[in-house]
Structure 1
């Protein structure tokens, strides 16, 4: 563990990063001129798209997106952090610009998605990384962490749930779907995949709707409307029940290993409740936890604050090794 954090520290020193500054203290505005590369790689016969930027000798941030987004959701971080850190953001199979084989050819479960992302990290030679997990990125990331804890230098959790404390009232209908898929398929598709649901997923109860670019949900709804996409997403969401069943296992891992953790939580999220942050505090008493004036996709509304907190966190863990 000491060697791991010594390497992080050495990377920051070698890159001669000066501490950021702004009128708002920890906030960061877009300043990165680092070139973003848009690449694809074959993983077990599936074309996986990913974005990559930043110096490869800097600490690596593996950015795991949520539903129904893609690596595109991390553009605000690429614009602010790519001069300082090595950023890698894949699209899962069935999402964004990755291949979307039909369910008859690819089993859409979180176990399988995590296996693809695991193979992706191996093929790219990522032996250590700080893992940013948002929404679906949580179930994918926790599977990676339990399978390869030696690779995970730290966690950044942004509106990703691993306790039932965080599941709000919207999940009642979703639980009915898990109990009887056939009877509840139509209701689930309306609840999860409609245009209104896609828009609400961004806005939630935020009073700051003028900070949101409507292209976000318009583009996501266009993605969900692609031929075959609704079948892919309903299969994957049906498998979400396995995540809830895995919560005790993930919690036990956190309590035992006490990974360095930054929690960023958009308080206007309609699906994942702020109470989840108290649950993380129980498991990870030393975690840095920040409640943001934002919704489910906090980078939409508070990109400067989020990037500043991430930069501060990475610097801190690089100069203060884990016990």
Structure 2
């Protein structure tokens, strides 16, 4: 999902966008060989950054990147220069009504599995994750959701995704801890939020200002994957934010 943005920043910044275990081009061992939890994924990415010798960085977090990034920040707060958020939730008010079915799955995974698949991993759910409530569906490339659906239906993926999603409940339980870290450290923060996201409500963006009053928040005419529609706008906001972080104008 980061491909459209990276070329617009790469002339000036060192950019690293790893695929998590079980995602993209990274290995996808079965759950019998790797325990798919957000703690474990954050641990793997933490080891990855250590291997690269990264000791000073800005976190850019989207969706699952939020739970991973906040775990990394709490593990090594001294490494985090700033935080950028794009439709990544750490407040209850950011969870839309779609999460009612997902909470039922957390409470009773054996009986709610099929309902979760319809809500989360079906072709229609994947399509809606991209389109959301956008008034301009014609702007979207259908490959964005058909490619994602092809990934979600690869051998072994349904079990990986439903196993990891069961662990998502630990993220919701961790929201107060993440909020406390934000309030205590008040890192420089940029929030860009696609307002047509069907899963993460705009209230989730505004809530960051309760933790970091100086947070810079921009609500965009875009969806959950805001780069699908607002690549240039996000690139401009990111470049301006990072330039000010560095103490000079881009």
Is the pair's TM-score, using the shorter chain for normalization, greater than 0.5? yes
User: Is this contact kept in 1: 2:87–2:205, CA < 8 A?
Assistant: no
Q: Deviations over 1:17-48 (max 9, x none)?
A: xxxxxxxxxxxxxxxxxxxxxxxxxxxxxxxx
Unaligned runs of 5+ in 2: none
The residue aligned with 2:164 is 236
Q: How does 1:108-123 map to 2 (within 5 A)?
A: 108-123=36-51
**Alpha-carbon distance in 2 for matches of 1:116, 1:196:** 31
Q: How does 1:206-217 map to 2 (within 5 A)?
A: 206-217=134-145
Structure 2 counterpart of 1:220, from 148, 162, 167: 148
Q: Deviations over 1:89-126 (max 9, x none)?
A: 00000000000000000000000000000000000111
User: Is this contact kept in 1: 2:206–2:217, CA < 8 A?
Assistant: no
The residue aligned with 1:58 is none
**What SS class does the counterpart of residue 82 from structure 2 fall into?**
strand
Bigger radius of gyration, 1 or 2? 1
The residue aligned with 2:177 is 249
TM-score between the two structures when normalised by the length of structure 2: 0.98
Structure 1 counterpart of 2:97, from 165, 169, 178: 169
**Alpha-carbon distance in 2 for matches of 1:173, 1:223:** 23
**What SS class does the counterpart of residue 88 from structure 1 fall into?**
coil
The residue aligned with 1:100 is 28
Q: Deviations over 1:68-95 (max 9, x none)?
A: xxxxx11111121111111110000000
Shift of 1:278: 2.0
Structure 1 counterpart of 2:242, from 279, 304, 314: 314
**What SS class does the counterpart of residue 70 from structure 2 fall into?**
helix
**Alpha-carbon distance in 1 for matches of 2:206, 2:150:** 36
**Alpha-carbon distance in 2 for matches of 1:209, 1:229:** 28
The residue aligned with 2:11 is 83
**What SS class does the counterpart of residue 127 from structure 1 fall into?**
coil
TM-score between the two structures when normalised by the length of structure 1: 0.76
Name the structure with the higher strand share.
1
**Alpha-carbon distance in 1 for matches of 2:138, 2:230:** 13
Structure 2 counterpart of 1:289, from 208, 213, 217: 217
Shift of 1:130: 0.6
**Alpha-carbon distance in 2 for matches of 1:211, 1:126:** 37
Unaligned runs of 5+ in 1: 1-72
Q: Figure out how many residues of one structure are paired with residues of the other and give that number.
A: 248
CA RMSD in angstroms comes to: 0.8
